[in-house]
Structure 1
Amino acid sequence: MPEIEAAQSGEIDRQGVACPTIAVCMPAYNAEHLLSRSLGAIGKSTRLPDEIIIFDDASTDRTAVVAVELGARVIKGEANAGPGAGRNLLATETDADFLLFVDADVVIDPGAIERLEAVLVSRPDVAATFGAYNDRPHHSGAASMYANLRHHFIHRQNAGECRTFWSGLGMIRRDVFCHFGGYDSHRFAGPSIEDVDLGARMTAQGQKIILEPRAQGAHLKKWTLKGLWRSDIFDRALPWARLIRADMMPVGQLNGGGMEQLRALLAYGILGAFALTLISAVPFWSVGLVGAAYVLANAPFFMLLLDRSGIRRTLIGMFLHWVYHLYASAIIGSALIARLSSKIWQSIFSSKQKSRSSL
């Protein structure tokens, strides 16, 4: 493919100044049906990368063949290792200054690479930057529209410095990535929050990460309701909770900020108000009152849903969002309580030990 082959050269900008080199690192598993779009979009970027490397994670289809036909260099895995391990391996296969991680099911916008590079070039103190899904999901089903627009909205609302990272479309200085040992592929063998964990480890050591929501890409994944809830709960919320309990994860980032906590409280308020109407004389309109407050608190997101997906899918999305606030806040909240309880008991035990030693 001429566009991608052209991306393998050119390290001088229009003023004749040496540019940082960029290597696109893309893990792929059974992605032959996706690569023509994801790699094709990279080849149409306003800033072409200097190298495109694919990790074929022991695919059973023609992923490797298609990637080579499209001009990418392919590293083949002998056994399915997961995206984190794949990205770590790809980082050792290049000497580029910046690593650009892109998922195989993400079709980046033409200016995405240029926007991310601009952050790292203009801010030498920033170690990494990442973008967002755009507001034009590939699949129009209710679950797909909700999941992708939720991601887009959360990233759009949290532009600037943050304490997390995203591998769907994220750029990082290669020396920093190697210094931190890349992704923890032992803790996160499959697709999970390995990128969030990396960002937390980096920022805990003083590294800066910038969310640049104008760097966007379309998500090609077709979500089902079952797949969405399984991913939200088992691939994200529960692993996140384990890290919180171990005091290894910051709280209050992206979808855990103050407004999100308020929305979660209102979501439970709806349940509480409904329960009170069943067991007491509390009027039923109180449920509507709390529900209206919940809708008002989420109005910007619900308006985005309405604008992009219509009334029927918006109503479904509103219900999915309410359920999301219930299960996500329950899991994360229990982890916070467990961590706080552990610290209290440790403090009590430490005080008793000091008292005994002073006798």
Structure 2
Amino acid sequence: MPGERPTVSVIIPAYNAAKTLGTVLESVYAQTLAPLEVVVVDDRSTDDSRTVAGRFPVVLVESPVNRGVSAARNLGARHSRGEILFYLDSDVALAPDALANAVDLLLSDPGTGCVHGIYDPEPLYDDGPVERYRALHAHFWRRRSVGVVGTAIFALAAVPRAVFDDVGPFDENLRDSEDVEYSDRLGAAYRIRMTETVVGRHDDVDRLGPMLSEQFRRSQLLVPVAAVERRGGGGLKANRPAGALAAALVPGTVPLALLSPWLLTVPAACLLWFALVDPGLARFAVRRRGVGFLPWFLLAHFLVHLALVSGALVGAVRWLVDPGFGPSVRRRKDRTTTGASAGAPAGTSKGPSGGSTAGTARARRRSAGE
């Protein structure tokens, strides 16, 4: 099997990643399947990221300005040569067999256009209870979702170059939720598979304020992106909708106490509903960290839900009043019919006729036996 494997380019977008980049690169060079090359795209860092990258035999690409992760991934694809593009975030250190497992899964199913992995339940660096919460939750919901899914997460994901050429580049208008937008195009023609055999340890945010701010910011694109998706119901769900509703009802029903103190039982009941809505997650937290960690875990989880709901509401309003907010419907329709657009990275292909359609991709999948 190793002799039959295609070549792999690992593409790592990096912005102020000096803390983690060395450990991440060490994990890449320790893979059982050696990559053809490692392309680090520095998105105009202001720390020592470029110096750290220079300690390894990487292809270092420097962006002239900070443009975000989507542009960095496209730039990395432009400067890579491998038959498989393995996208890896600069704060995710891979298990030694991650590349080999991802490539073997792609080889086993020609109709799969992307294989992406899960986070380890332990953080890359244990910086306290906030990061422990994040690592446990991130592992749990991904582990529960393994199989064919509707959304790819490009923190650790393998895509054949032919698929990337066919689907087109990442939407550089998006710095958040770019995974969802790209997956909508990708999933229209290829299967997306999440696997527990591709694992990485993630260095996540470790302070409560920044964690909630990040969730609030990212969730603002949930409504705009969902509104222009062609496919419905296929996306990954990190949190149960019932939990989001319960969390939203807690502050929403507190004013009932102005009518009667007894009505405080309503938000209290909503809070209890929230705590019980996902018993599997609570049991997992107890198994990994002990029963004493559970109250903090549930509190952090509740606050995250409040940030998500608030951000989604703000994002919906912004999308209604600002036509430039979120992904462009016209731009995405153009990419559907032309594949890699004029703005695609140099070196990508538009297909034999200068354009790549979802129909041609589906035809390939049918010929592969789907």
In which range does the TM-score fall when normalised by the shorter chain?
0.7 to 0.9
Amino acid at match of 1:217: G
Counterpart secondary structure, 1:69: coil
Q: CA deviation at 1:252?
A: 5.8
Which structure ranks higher in relative contact order (CA pairs < 8 Å, sequence separation ≥ 6)? 2
Amino acid at match of 2:119: Y
Match of 2:235 among 253, 258, 264: 253
The structure-2 alpha-carbon separation of the partners of 1:291 and 1:25, relative to structure 1 and needing over 3 Å to count, comes to: same
Q: CA deviation at 1:121?
A: 0.9
Task: State the partner residue of 1:128.
Answer: 114
Match of 1:240 among 200, 222, 233: 222
Amino acid at match of 2:168: G
Amino acid at match of 2:221: P
Q: CA deviation at 1:125?
A: 0.3
The structure-2 alpha-carbon separation of the partners of 1:64 and 1:324, relative to structure 1 and needing over 3 Å to count, comes to: closer
> Could you report, residue by residue, the CA deviation over 1:83-124 in whole angstroms, capped at 9, with x for unpaired residues?
211110111222311100111111111122222122211111
Q: For residues 76 and 281 of structure 2, what CA distance do their matches in structure 1 show?
A: 36
Residue 217 (str. 1) matches residue 197 (str. 2): no
Q: CA deviation at 1:64?
A: 2.7
Task: State the partner residue of 1:345.
Answer: none
> Could you report, residue by residue, the CA deviation over 1:232-285 in whole angstroms, capped at 9, with x for unpaired residues?
111x2111222223456745622267xx11222333454566555553485766
Counterpart secondary structure, 1:255: coil
Q: CA deviation at 1:313?
A: 4.4
Count of residue correspondences? 319
Amino acid at match of 1:218: R
Q: For residues 295 and 145 of structure 1, what CA distance do their matches in structure 2 show?
A: 18
The structure-2 alpha-carbon separation of the partners of 1:314 and 1:176, relative to structure 1 and needing over 3 Å to count, comes to: same
Task: State the partner residue of 1:231.
Answer: 214
Match of 1:144 among 126, 131, 138: 131
Match of 1:193 among 164, 177, 187: 177
The structure-2 alpha-carbon separation of the partners of 1:277 and 1:308, relative to structure 1 and needing over 3 Å to count, comes to: same
Q: For residues 231 and 310 of structure 2, what CA distance do their matches in structure 1 show?
A: 17
Task: State the partner residue of 2:162.
Answer: 175
Amino acid at match of 1:316: W
The structure-2 alpha-carbon separation of the partners of 1:74 and 1:312, relative to structure 1 and needing over 3 Å to count, comes to: same
Q: CA deviation at 1:316?
A: 2.3
Residue 32 (str. 1) matches residue 18 (str. 2): yes
The structure-2 alpha-carbon separation of the partners of 1:270 and 1:61, relative to structure 1 and needing over 3 Å to count, comes to: closer
Q: For residues 64 and 262 of structure 1, what CA distance do their matches in structure 2 show?
A: 44
Residue 318 (str. 1) matches residue 304 (str. 2): no
Task: State the partner residue of 2:345.
Answer: none
Identity percentage over the alignment?
A: 24
**Contact 1:245–1:336 (Cα < 8 Å) also in 2:** no
TM-score normalised by L of structure 2: 0.76
RMSD between aligned residues:
2.9
Amino acid at match of 1:90: G
Q: How does 1:38-187 map to 2 (within 5 A)?
A: 38-137=24-123, 138-185=125-172, 187=173
The structure-2 alpha-carbon separation of the partners of 1:63 and 1:284, relative to structure 1 and needing over 3 Å to count, comes to: closer
**Contact 2:221–2:315 (Cα < 8 Å) also in 1:** no
Amino acid at match of 2:201: A
Counterpart secondary structure, 2:225: helix
Q: For residues 272 and 215 of structure 1, what CA distance do their matches in structure 2 show?
A: 41
The structure-2 alpha-carbon separation of the partners of 1:275 and 1:281, relative to structure 1 and needing over 3 Å to count, comes to: same
Counterpart secondary structure, 2:210: helix
Q: For residues 337 and 223 of structure 1, what CA distance do their matches in structure 2 show?
A: 30
> Could you report, residue by residue, the CA deviation over 1:63-94 in whole angstroms, capped at 9, with x for unpaired residues?
33332322212112222222211110111222
> Could you report, residue by residue, the CA deviation over 1:287-316 in whole angstroms, capped at 9, with x for unpaired residues?
555444432222221222233344554322
Counterpart secondary structure, 1:46: coil
The structure-2 alpha-carbon separation of the partners of 1:222 and 1:291, relative to structure 1 and needing over 3 Å to count, comes to: closer
Counterpart secondary structure, 2:6: coil
Gaps of 5+ in 2: 320-370
Counterpart secondary structure, 1:25: strand
Q: For residues 252 and 123 of structure 1, what CA distance do their matches in structure 2 show?
A: 20
The structure-2 alpha-carbon separation of the partners of 1:331 and 1:95, relative to structure 1 and needing over 3 Å to count, comes to: same
Amino acid at match of 2:112: V
**Contact 1:244–1:335 (Cα < 8 Å) also in 2:** no
Amino acid at match of 2:177: I
